[in-house]
A and B are shown apart, each in its own frame.
Chain A
Amino acid sequence: METCQSGLTYLFAKEAGASNPLASSNLAVSANVYLCYNICMDEIEKLKKEISQLKIINDNKSDIISITAHQLRTSLSAMKWIFKMFMEEDVGKLTSEQNELMQKAYVSNERMLALVNDLLTLSHSEDASVTYNFKKLNILHIIEQIMFEFFGETNKKGIELIFLPPEGSSFPANCDEEMLRVVVQNLIENAIKYSDKGGKIFVSLRQKDGNNIIAVHDLGIGIDDSDKDSIFKKFFRAKNAQEKDAVGSGLGLFTTKSIVEKHGGKIWFENALGGGTTFLVSLPIAK
């Protein structure tokens, strides 16, 4: 812009018959540059104010979601505990019909809880500019820790959770630890959800073509060919998934994909119907 303005000023000065158009234009150039500078600075200040206001609005939105989710969870926790107390017959014997209704109420409440949890995670994951805290981390340590946390649940459900030892011990990636945990946890939770008692889940980590590849393989219900294009869509739940587990919001894989992509990675799956599914996540190796 400065060069263009300088040229024009020189031409105007020459056209006007100035004795030394170059000298005249230099003074005018300085004035123009100064003017441009001021305009730019004003615009930058305006943008800074707008960014600051947007950040406040975004923070308020996050606070509202977090507080609302917390309040909803409190009420839903109370209902969960009460339904369970009835089902366990803590407060007296139930008829089989009453028990059946309580079970339905319990499952319905669990669905609502799953929805609240997933909406909260989704809101958090979409808040990339504000909340992601990228650091160079060894994802091997994060996965090992998550595996450890899941052993109690899988033991209780009679499912074997196996971590296949990787080659090497360094798997650096630039990631937000909390959000990466959501990714791995969601994949393992799904694998548990859609596995039968006595099933096995294999988790592995390797490096290929500049990426860390996390794989979670189960021997569960698999994904039907007709569902494969929809599996990462918001609120989508495959028919066989609904039959196997009524609790689920259809936001888990959508959120997982969104988080992986914010890390510059990819997520996909490979499966054989009836023979289980492998979900794979690639995350670039950090230099």
Chain B
Amino acid sequence: MKKILIIEDDSFLQDLEVEKLEKNGFELITASTGKEALEKINEPDISLFVLDLTLPDTDGFEILKKIKGTETIKKIPVIVFSNMSEEKYKKEAMELGAIEFMIKSNFTLDELVDKIKTILK
């Protein structure tokens, strides 16, 4: 079972994401703050990160930089999943090494699942 870390501060959205992904056979761990995310990114056997950009104590770019700057986890794919839709955010995320930039309101959870399955194939 592939393990995914969801970094999402909105508990309502996080619950929906977890429910959908668990139904599709993934193991989930979650983080709601930047601090919590930094504590969990090094947990063993994570296959993919789903990362929100707006977190209460830091922004998602800091987490992305940390992941891509850590030798042991830098190859793990990161999907940025945010409602910050401006092109500059997408550009920055892709330059920092995200594999995909998805605007939450433009996608359904089924489409997120499909994307994750394609990336982890």
| A and B bind | yes
Chain A contacts to B: CB under 8 angstroms:
70, 73-74, 76-78, 80-82, 84-85, 88, 90, 113, 116-117, 120, 124, 177-178, 181
Known: A78-B12, A82-B16. A73 touches B105 (CB 8 A): yes
* B88: chain A residues within 8 A (beta carbon): 178
Please tell me which one of the listed residues B12, B84, B105 contacts residue A80 in the complex, with CB atoms under 8 A apart: B105
Known: A70-B54, A74-B10, A90-B23. A80 touches B108 (CB 8 A): yes
B86 near A77 with CB under 8 A, answer: no
* A124: chain B residues within 8 A (beta carbon): 86
A81 near B16 with CB under 8 A, answer: yes
A3 CA to B108 CA in the complex, in Å? 72
B57 at the interface (CB under 8 A from A): no
A113 near B105 with CB under 8 A, answer: yes
Known: A74-B13, A78-B16, A90-B23. A84 touches B108 (CB 8 A): yes
Ordered nearest first, which 10 A-B pairs have the shortest CB separation?
A73-B83, A178-B87, A77-B104, A77-B105, A73-B105, A84-B108, A81-B109, A113-B105, A81-B16, A70-B83
Nearest chain A CB to B108 CB, angstrom units: 5
Nearest chain A CB to B83 CB, angstrom units: 4
Please tell me which one of the listed residues B20, B23, B104 contacts residue A74 in the complex, with CB atoms under 8 A apart: B104
Contact residues of B: prevailing secondary structure: helix
Contact residues of A: prevailing secondary structure: helix
Most chain B beta-carbon contacts within 10 A, residue among A77, A82, A85: A77
* B70: chain A residues within 8 A (beta carbon): none
A113 CA to B107 CA in the complex, in Å? 12
B105 near A84 with CB under 8 A, answer: no
A84 near B109 with CB under 8 A, answer: yes
B42 at the interface (CB under 8 A from A): no
Known: A74-B83, A77-B105, A178-B88. A88 touches B12 (CB 8 A): no
Most chain B beta-carbon contacts within 10 A, residue among A78, A81, A117: A81
Nearest chain A CB to B63 CB, angstrom units: 18
B62 at the interface (CB under 8 A from A): no
* A74: chain B residues within 8 A (beta carbon): 10, 13, 83, 104
Nearest chain B CB to A90 CB, angstrom units: 7
Residue pairs across A and B with Cβ atoms less than 8 A apart, 26 shown, are A70-B84, A73-B104, A74-B10, A76-B105, A77-B83, A77-B104, A77-B105, A78-B12, A78-B16, A80-B105, A81-B13, A81-B16, A81-B108, A81-B109, A82-B16, A84-B108, A84-B109, A84-B110, A85-B16, A85-B20, A88-B110, A90-B20, A113-B105, A117-B85, A117-B105, A178-B87
B20 near A120 with CB under 8 A, answer: no
A117 CA to B105 CA in the complex, in Å? 10
